C-alpha cells in the first residue's frame, strides 16, 4: 500500500501542478475549451491516445476478452478506430475551417440556432454524463483495489479530484498532461500483457489451451453478430466531439490530420492488448470470477506493488483523461450551444469563461449522481454510443454533403430515430434496434427533405464542398462567437 501511495502522490502532484499552471494562464473560453486552436503534433497524438484508452480499455475490454475472446476487438474497438480514421481523413480539414466548438454549432450555423439544441442536449446529457460516470466508477475501483476505500467514498473522492483538475486547467491542461499520460498508459498495458503471458505459461501453452473461438475474429457470434455489434458502436465516432475538439485544438489543418492518424493507429495497436490479456487470463484466474475484476486480480493480487503500481497509474491516467475530456465536451455544449447562442449571444469573454467553469460543475455533479447507479460499464457505454449515432450521424452527413436537406427534415429525423431506438427493445420485435434507428433516420431525413422547402433561417450549402465565411453568414436568429 505504501508503494501505491507514493505512485499516486507523484502522479496527482504532477497533474494538479499542470492544472494550477494553466488556471493562471488560461484567459478565455477559447483557451479553456479549445486550447486556443494552437496545439502541436505530439500534444494532439498524446491526448487522442489517452482519450481513446479510458475505463473501457483497461476494465471493460479485458473483461470482454475474457468472456468472448478476440472477437471483442473486431466488434467494439476496431469499428471505433475505422470510423475515427474516416472522421480525421475525410472531415478534419473542412470541419476545422468552420472554427466551431461542437457538433451542435454545425447544425446551428446551417439551420439556425434553435435546431442545435437537440444535438447539444444529446451530447451533453446522453453521452457526456454517462461516460463521465463510467470514469468516476472506474477510478473509485482503483482506490478500492489500492487502498481498500469503500465504493461510496471512492466515487466521491474520484469526483472531487476530476472536477478540481478540470475546472483548473480546461482543455490545455488536459492535452498537455495527456501527452505524458499516454506514455504511462502504453507502458502499463504492455507490462500487464507481459505479466499475463508469464502467468499463462508462455505463448505456446496459451495457444494450445485456448479454445479456437476465443482466438478468431468472429468467435461464436458469426459474421452477422460481429457486424451488427460493430454497427451499434462504430458510426458514433464520426460525430464524437472529443475527437472534434482535438481537431479544432490543433495548430493547423496538417497537424489535425497527421496527428490524428498517427494517434489512432497507435491506439488501435494498444487496444489489442486488453483483449489478449482477457483471453490469456482464462488460463490462470479462478473459475467464475466476475469479468470486471480480472484486471484487479492480475494487477493487485499477482504482481508486486512496484510493477502493479505503474499499471494502476496507467489506469488512473486513462480514467482521468477520459473524465476531463467528457466533462469539457458537455461543458462546450452548455456554454456555446445553450448559453452563448440562446441565452446571451453578446456575452463577454469573462462571462463565457465563468459560464464554462459553471457548466463543468453541472456536468460533473450529474456524473457523480449517475455514478452511484451504474452496474454495467459496457452496456451503458454501448447504449450511449448507439443512441447518439442513430440520431446524429446521418443528419451530420447530410449537412456535409447534401444541399437539399431541410431544417424540418433534420429535426424530425433526430427526434423520431431517438424515440424509436429507445423504445424498440420494449416492443419485442426481433429486428436489431440500431438497424431500425438508422432506417428511421434515413427515411425521414430524405423523404421529408424532398417534400419540404428550406426555411428562412437556413444557409443552404453542402458544408464539405464550401469554405465557411463567418462574415457573410446572416440569420434571422442572432448568433455571436468569440473565436
| Phi and psi, residue 210, nearest 5° | -95, 125
Q: Which residues pair with 39 in a beta bridge?
A: 250
Residue % of the chain over a pLDDT of 70: 89
C-alpha 262/C-alpha 462 separation (Å) is 29
Q: How confident is the model at residue 442 (pLDDT cuts 50, 70, 90)?
A: very high
pLDDT at residue 32 in the model: 62
| Phi and psi, residue 268, nearest 5° | -60, -45
* Residue 125 burial (10 A CB sphere; 0-12, 13-18, 19+): middle
Cell for 279? Answer: 483471453
Q: How confident is the model at residue 474 (pLDDT cuts 50, 70, 90)?
A: very low
Among 1, 317, 373, 376, residue whose Cα is nearest residue 152: 373
Under 8 Å between Cβ of 191 and 311 = yes
pTM as predicted: 0.81
Under 8 Å between Cβ of 456 and 476 = yes
Classified as helix, coil or strand, 300 is helix
| Domains of the chain, each with CATH number or no CATH | 2-390 (1.20.1730.10)
pLDDT at residue 480 in the model: 37
Position 174 pLDDT exceeds 80:
no
Vertex 470, ends 467 and 472: CA angle to 5°? 90
User: In 3-state terms, the chain is what percent helix, strand and coil (to 5)?
Assistant: 80, 0, 20
Q: How confident is the model at residue 16 (pLDDT cuts 50, 70, 90)?
A: confident
Position 438 pLDDT exceeds 80:
yes
Over residues 266-283, mean pLDDT: 90
Over residues 308-324, mean pLDDT: 81
pLDDT at residue 479 in the model: 37
C-alpha 193/C-alpha 203 separation (Å) is 11
DSSP string, 216-270: SSSTTTHHHHHHHHHHHHGGGGGS-HHHHHHHHHBSSHHHHHHHHHHHHHHHHHH
Residue % of the chain over a pLDDT of 90: 22
Over residues 241-258, mean pLDDT: 85
Over residues 345-354, mean pLDDT: 81
DSSP string, 384-433: HHHHHHHHHHHHHHHHHH-TT--HHHHHHHHHHHHHHHHHHHHHT-SS-H
Q: How confident is the model at residue 275 (pLDDT cuts 50, 70, 90)?
A: very high
Q: Which residues pair with 250 in a beta bridge?
A: 39
| Phi and psi, residue 434, nearest 5° | -65, -45
DSSP letter, residue 464: G
C-alpha 27/C-alpha 24 separation (Å) is 8
pLDDT at residue 50 in the model: 77
Amino acid at each position: 500500500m505504501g508503494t501505491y501511495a507514493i505512485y499516486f502522490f507523484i502522479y496527482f502532484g504532477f497533474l494538479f501542478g499542470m492544472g494550477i499552471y494553466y488556471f493562471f494562464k488560461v484567459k478565455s473560453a477559447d483557451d479553456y475549451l479549445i486550447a486556443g486552436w494552437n496545439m502541436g503534433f505530439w500534444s494532439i497524438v498524446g491526448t487522442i491516445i489517452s482519450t481513446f484508452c479510458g475505463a473501457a480499455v483497461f476494465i471493460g475490454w479485458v473483461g470482454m476478452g475474457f468472456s468472448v475472446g478476440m472477437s471483442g476487438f473486431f466488434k467494439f474497438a476496431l469499428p471505433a478506430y475505422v470510423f475515427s480514421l474516416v472522421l480525421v481523413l475525410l472531415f478534419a480539414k473542412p470541419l476545422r475551417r468552420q472554427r466551431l466548438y461542437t457538433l451542435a454549432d454545425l447544425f446551428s450555423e446551417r439551420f439556425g440556432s434553435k435546431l442545435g439544441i437537440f444535438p447539444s442536449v444529446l451530447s451533453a446529457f446522453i453521452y457526456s454524463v454517462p461516460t463521465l460516470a463510467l470514469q468516476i466508477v472506474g477510478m473509485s475501483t482503483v482506490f478500492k483495489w489500492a487502498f481498500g476505500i469503500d465504493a461510496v467514498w471512492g466515487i466521491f473522492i474520484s469526483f472531487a479530484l476530476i472536477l478540481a483538475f478540470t475546472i483548473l486547467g480546461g482543455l490545455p491542461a488536459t492535452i498537455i498532461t495527456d501527452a505524458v499520460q499516454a506514455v504511462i498508459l502504453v507502458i502499463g498495458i504492455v507490462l500487464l500483457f507481459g505479466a499475463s503471458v508469464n502467468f499463462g505459461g508462455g505463448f505456446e501453452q496459451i495457444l494450445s489451451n485456448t479454445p479456437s473461438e476465443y482466438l478468431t475474429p468472429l468467435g461464436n457470434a458469426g459474421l452477422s453478430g460481429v457486424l451488427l455489434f460493430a454497427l451499434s458502436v462504430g458510426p458514433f465516432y464520426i460525430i464524437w466531439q472529443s475527437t472534434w475538439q482535438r481537431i479544432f485544438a490543433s495548430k493547423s489543418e496538417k497537424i489535425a490530420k497527421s496527428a490524428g492518424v498517427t494517434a489512432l493507429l497507435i491506439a488501435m495497436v494498444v487496444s489489442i492488448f486488453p483483449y489478449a490479456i482477457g483471453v490469456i487470463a482464462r488460463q490462470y484466474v479462478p473459475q467464475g470470477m466476475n469479468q470486471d475484476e480480472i484486471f484487479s486480480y492480475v494487477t493487485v493480487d499477482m504482481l508486486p506493488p512496484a510493477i502493479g503500481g505503474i499499471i494502476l497509474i496507467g489506469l488512473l491516467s486513462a480514467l482521468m483523461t477520459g473524465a476531463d475530456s467528457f466533462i469539457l465536451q458537455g461543458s462546450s455544449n452548455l456554454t456555446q450551444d445553450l448559453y452563448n447562442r440562446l441565452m446571451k449571444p453578446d456575452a463577454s469573454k469573462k462571462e463565457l469563461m465563468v459560464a464554462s467553469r459553471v457548466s463543468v460543475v453541472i456536468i460533473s455533479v450529474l456524473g457523480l449522481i449517475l455514478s452511484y447507479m451504474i452496474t454495467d460499464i459496457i452496456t451503458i457505454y454501448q447504449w450511449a454510443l448507439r443512441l447518439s449515432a442513430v440520431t446524429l450521424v446521418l443528419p451530420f452527413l447530410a449537412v456535409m454533403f447534401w444541399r437539399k436537406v431541410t431544417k424540418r427534415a433534420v429535426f424530425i429525423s433526430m427526434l423520431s430515430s431517438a424515440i424509436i431506438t429507445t423504445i424498440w427493445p420494449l416492443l419485442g420485435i426481433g429486428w436489431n434496434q440500431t438497424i431500425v434507428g438508422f432506417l428511421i433516420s434515413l427515411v425521414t431525413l430524405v423523404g421529408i427533405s424532398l417534400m419540404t422547402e428550406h426555411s428562412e433561417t437556413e444557409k443552404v450549402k453542402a458544408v464539405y464542398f464550401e469554405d465557411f465565411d463567418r462574415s457573410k453568414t446572416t440569420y434571422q436568429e442572432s448568433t455571436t462567437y468569440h473565436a
